[in-house]
Amino acid sequence: MSFPRCALLWARLPAGRRAGHRAAVCSALRAHPGPVPGPLGRPPAVASASSSASGGSKAPNTSLFVPLSVKPQGPSADGDVGAELTRPLDKNEVKKILDQFYKRKEIQKLGADYGLDARLFHQAFISFRNYILQSHSLDVDIHIILNDICFSAAHVDDLFPFFLRHAKQIFPVLECKEDLRKISDLRIPPNWYPEARAIQRKIIFHSGPTNSGKTYHAIQKYLSAKSGVYCGPLKLLAHEIFEKSNAEGVPCDLVTGEERVSVETNGKQATHVACTVEMSSVTTPYEVAVIDEIQMIKDPARGWAWTRALLGLCAEEVHLCGEAAAIDLVTELLYTTGEEVEVRNYTRLTPISVLDHALESLDNLRPGDCIVCFSKNDIYSVSRQIEIRGLESAVIYGSLPPGTKLAQAKKFNDPDDPCKILVATDAIGMGLNLNIRRIIFYSLIKPSINEKGEKEIEPITTSQALQIAGRAGRFSSKYKEGEVTTMNREDLRLLKEILNKPVEPIQAAGLHPTAEQIEMFAYHLPDTTLSNLIDIFVDFSQVDGQYFVCNLDDFKFSAELIQHIPLSLRVRYVFCTAPINKKQPFVCSSLLQFARQYSRNEPLTFAWLRRYIKWPLNPPNNIKDLMDLEAVHDVLDLYLWLSYRFIDMFPDANLVRDLQKDLDGIIQEGVHNITKLIKISEAQRLLHLENMPADSRSRSPGTSKSQARRMRGTKTLGFKAAEPPGPGAEKSLASRLVQQGLLTADMLKQLEKEWLTQRTEHGRDKAEPGTTSKGSRRKKKEPDSD
């Protein structure tokens, strides 16, 4: 029978008889075949079997499911076949049917059986209703069902298969939940490394505190082996082993994220390699492998790299160096591989003592002192106050280039250099050999990021305190005994409590999804953003009790930053793993620009990069200039990192490295003159405040907060914080501060006295009550200046 004839007969059938043939016609004409639920309230047998196979997996976090948009259908080239077979639909009637469908409890329960919780059900229904009401023509099957419901020839529940089909279109994760669970199953990580499992490795754990010789013994085994790999947490440490190995006649290559150095003239790989732990190869066989700072396996962001090295390195002997807190976890992880752990314990080679008195004033500094701060602002403030006292200080903090850190360390260690004081962050905890006699904690509070990616401001941990304190009186330095104390008297008791606490055993090791796993996820969810893929992956992932999924916030930040740029998934993944400081706007915008250039297939040449960073750059004139230069250095690091992943698009790595060395020299010059830069920055800030109206100055944004943060440090330096000066002081003292760039305790004391006098004489209590009360409160809290 021809189609026109079939259509004509169908149209002539009464509504009741059409209902009897509805199933057959729908089956023949359905445009998008798919699984249809069984009887109402009971999912099909396949779904039940699949659900039971999941082993009672946790319910997914459906808030991560971002609905895709499904456009309503426009006019069809074949016309509205459903209307020809039945009749055009009345949109008002259809709307009433859909509202009735939405309100039925049985439908909501059936939706929940298919993974549509209340939130997803509502979103899916809104999309489904808009699709039905806004489409110019509908698929024949759903058109016929709606028509039959209008004539009471079908039940409103018969819409459910079409609703479910639409829900799976906007939430594709519903269609493949079990596949996604299998892909994101992170249990039994040892099985990911078949090469390592094919050999019987000997595991030796060198356990001990800082300056106990544990790493030295491991490195001696590394140097005496026929082949070896050293995996360190920092570029500085990898570079140190690289130089030490070659100096002792053991050919050694250097491999970091931004640098590859081959010592063999023919380009052949050397027998030994020193690398950062992320760059270690899990397929190359070695006789000896050394994994340094194994306790970092618990790090919320980088722990996965230590887990990968521990389980995956193909070495006959694997030497682990780190804290005793990691022994139990390492033993437990390697129990699943059938490998036993031999533990060698070490004690500290030189004594270290916690003093019974705090420093309290910078006037009490001695040669060999190191003041440890946990913020750049404190670094700048302390350096300036040391300079005012006629002393020179070296400065080391995390964002400085490695070359600058080494130059500052050399300056501090040089017995002929007048610089005898070091001001540093906890960056000195690893990677630098320093002649420190006494560690002084300027504060015990350090901002940190927990496993959930949340910022926390808490006292440093016992492990962190021991790591930093252990830098005093090292065996190789000229000070054979170390001392530790605090700047503030009230912190000393807390420091002793922290140092006397036992280090808590490490409970879990970090894991990270691979590019292959994300690609498989993307195959099932092709229209989902990379950031959303990561969220869903982490939510679906299953881990054993000894593991956790590392914090991927930095990865997601980069993914969202370049989401709108057309890149393949693998390329996008590589760009997102590039290490950047997301607090640096210029570095973030550079990642975006590099990705955009890549997507246009435009190589990033040396000439282009010079124009982009506006080279040549001038030496810094103030602290802001210095920070800008540090950001440019990070951008060059980013270029070099990408050049080893996309050599054709980032072709000028050698030229950029030479440029980076020149920039390092400029930064070194700036850090060498850091107190001068601080002085100029203070003068510029005071000049800005002097030129502001009095009322604007009193409510200058951020001033009170930053002063409050530094109030505790200000007390310890032995002077009072500056208060808004009176009219007389503005003309005399403030102008002198601007012209000379000086800011001493005596000047601040004089300034406060002048302001208090002027306030009394001119009745400033009434004119500026907020300022006065604030000053009064602050005066009560602060001690007399030195």
pLDDT for 69-124, tens place per residue? 999 988 877 778 888 888 899 999 999 999 999 999 999 999 999 999 999 999 99
User: Binning pLDDT at 50, 70 and 90, where does residue 47 land?
Assistant: very low
Token output for 624: 């802001």
CATH numeric code, 352-500: 3.40.50.300
Task: Report yes or no: 67 and 105 within 8 Å, Cβ to Cβ.
Answer: no
* pLDDT at residue 37 is higher than 50: no
| Backbone φ, ψ for residue 646 (5° rounding) | -130, 75
Comparing 42 with 755, the larger pLDDT belongs to 755
Token output for 732: 């005399």
| pLDDT for the residue numbered 516 | 92
Cα-Cα-Cα-Cα torsion 576, 577, 583, 588, nearest 10 degrees, comes to -40
Q: What is the pTM (predicted TM-score) of this model?
A: 0.79
C-alpha span between 34 and 114 (Å, rounded)? 14
Q: With pLDDT > 90 as the criterion, what percentage of the chain qualifies?
A: 67
C-alpha span between 645 and 574 (Å, rounded)? 8
626 residue type, one letter: L
**Helix/strand/coil (H/E/C) assignment for every residue in 337-385:** CCCCEEEEECCCCCCEEECCCCCCCHHHCCCCEEEECCCHHHHHHHHHH
- What sign results for the dihedral spanned by CA atoms 611, 616, 617, 618? negative
Task: Report yes or no: 358 and 488 within 8 Å, Cβ to Cβ.
Answer: yes
Location of structure tokens 């850090």: 671
C-alpha span between 209 and 282 (Å, rounded)? 28
| Backbone φ, ψ for residue 308 (5° rounding) | -60, -45
pLDDT tens column, 366-398:
999 999 999 888 999 899 999 889 999 999 999
CA angle 148, 152, 155 (to 5 degrees): 80
Cα 35 to Cα 42, 141, 436: the distances in Å are: 13, 14, 72
Comparing 715 with 364, the larger pLDDT belongs to 364
Q: How many C-beta atoms surround the C-beta of residue 623 within 10 A?
A: 20
CATH numeric code, 551-688: 1.20.58.1080
Q: With pLDDT > 70 as the criterion, what percentage of the chain qualifies?
A: 79
* pLDDT at residue 695 is higher than 60: no
* pLDDT at residue 682 is higher than 90: no
Among 48-57, 147-156, 353-362, 553-562, the range scoring the smallest mean pLDDT is 48-57
Token output for 32: 């998008």
* pLDDT at residue 482 is higher than 60: yes
Q: Under 8 Å CB-to-CB from 152, ≥6 apart: which residues?
A: none
* pLDDT at residue 350 is higher than 50: yes
Mean pLDDT over each residue of the chain, to the nearest integer: 83
C-alpha span between 726 and 721 (Å, rounded)? 15
Maximum distance among all Cα pairs of the chain, rounded to whole angstroms = 110
Which of 372, 354, 377, 403 shows the shortest CA–CA distance to 393?
Answer: 372
Task: Report yes or no: 499 and 487 within 8 Å, Cβ to Cβ.
Answer: no
545 residue type, one letter: G
* pLDDT at residue 268 is higher than 80: yes
| pLDDT for the residue numbered 733 | 53
* pLDDT at residue 1 is higher than 90: no
Among 524-533, 680-689, 772-781, the range scoring the smallest mean pLDDT is 772-781
* pLDDT at residue 289 is higher than 50: yes
| pLDDT for the residue numbered 631 | 96
Task: Report yes or no: 291 and 306 within 8 Å, Cβ to Cβ.
Answer: yes
Question: b or e along 566-578 (b: 16 or more beta carbons within 10 Å of the residue's beta carbon)?
Answer: ebebebbbbbbbb
| pLDDT for the residue numbered 264 | 87
Q: Where are the domains of the chain?
A: 62-170, 201-345, 352-500, 551-688
Task: Report yes or no: 423 and 371 within 8 Å, Cβ to Cβ.
Answer: yes
771 residue type, one letter: T
| pLDDT for the residue numbered 273 | 98
Interval 700-715 mean pLDDT: 39
Matching fold, domains 201-345 and 352-500: yes
C-alpha span between 521 and 64 (Å, rounded)? 14
Token output for 3: 């189609």
Q: Is 438 helix (H, G, I), strand (E, B) or coil?
A: strand
**From the DSSP assignment, how many helices (H) and strands (E) are in the chain?**
35, 18
Interval 335-354 mean pLDDT: 94
CATH numeric code, 62-170: 1.10.1740.140
Please classify residue 451 by burial: count the beta carbons closer than 10 Å to its beta carbon, then call 0-12 exposed, 13-18 middle and 19+ buried: middle
| pLDDT for the residue numbered 144 | 92
| pLDDT for the residue numbered 725 | 42
Task: Report yes or no: 491 and 358 within 8 Å, Cβ to Cβ.
Answer: yes
DSSP at 150? H
pLDDT tens column, 576-598:
999 999 999 999 999 999 999 99
Token output for 735: 């102008």
Tell the CATH superfamily of the 201-345 domain.
P-loop containing nucleotide triphosphate hydrolases (3.40.50.300)
Interval 515-529 mean pLDDT: 93
C-alpha span between 435 and 415 (Å, rounded)? 10
Comparing 454 with 140, the larger pLDDT belongs to 140
Give the end-to-end CA distance of the chain in Å, rounded to a whole number: 107
* pLDDT at residue 492 is higher than 50: yes
Task: Report yes or no: 86 and 11 within 8 Å, Cβ to Cβ.
Answer: yes
Cα 166 to Cα 123, 124, 202, 492, 522: the distances in Å are: 11, 7, 56, 65, 20
User: Binning pLDDT at 50, 70 and 90, where does residue 672 land?
Assistant: confident
Which of 9, 37, 18 shows the shortest CA–CA distance to 144?
Answer: 18
User: Binning pLDDT at 50, 70 and 90, where does residue 430 land?
Assistant: confident
User: Binning pLDDT at 50, 70 and 90, where does residue 26 land?
Assistant: very low
Location of structure tokens 């019987």: 200
The helix or strand, by DSSP H or E, that contains position 609, with its residue range, turns out to be helix 606-613
Comparing 287 with 683, the larger pLDDT belongs to 287
| pLDDT for the residue numbered 719 | 36
Phi-psi bin for 477: left (phi > 0), alpha (psi -120 to 50), beta?
beta
pLDDT tens column, 608-662:
999 999 999 999 988 899 999 999 999 999 999 999 999 999 999 999 999 999 9
Q: Under 8 Å CB-to-CB from 657, ≥6 apart: which residues?
A: 259, 640
Which of 251, 459, 478 shows the shortest CA–CA distance to 350?
Answer: 478
